[in-house]
Amino acid sequence: MNYTFEILGVAPTLCFFNQQQELLQKQQSAGVEYLGNRKCTLDSFVQSVETVSPNRGWDVDGVVNTVIGYWMNNSDSIQYWKQRLQDAGSENLLVARVGDIKSLQAAFESLLGP
C-alpha cells in the first residue's frame, strides 16, 4: 500500500478537536487520518503515525518512511509551518494528513460528485 503525508496548516486546538469528532460521527475517510501536534518536529509526527497506523491496519514502517521522506524533501515547507505554528501561539496545533493514496483519491473524487 502507498501512503501520503502532508502538512495542512495551523488550527486552534478546540477547532481541531471538534473537526475530529465530526469525522468520527460521519465515519468518513476510513483511509485518512488527521494529526495535530504542538511541535513541528519529525519525531512528533513519527510518534503520531506509529500510534494511529496499527488501528487503521496500515504498514507502520511504510507510513513512517512516508513521513521521513516528506521531511527530507520539503525542508522549506517545514520551516514555513514551524514559523507559522510559533507565530500562532501555544493554543494551536500543526495539522497534517496521512493516509493511503487510494482512500485519499476516493475522498477527493467524492467531493467532485457523480
Given this model, what pLDDT does residue 56 score?
A: 82
Name the residue with cell 493554543.
91
Given this model, what pLDDT does residue 112 score?
A: 76
What digits encode the pLDDT tens for the residues 41-84?
999 999 999 998 787 889 999 999 999 999 999 999 999 999 99
Given this model, what pLDDT does residue 26 score?
A: 72
Give the Cα separation of 93 and 4 in Å (integer).
20
Global confidence as pTM: 0.86
C-alpha cell at 48: 503520531
Residue 5 or residue 104, greater confidence: 5
What are residue 12's DSSP bridge partners? Answer: 92
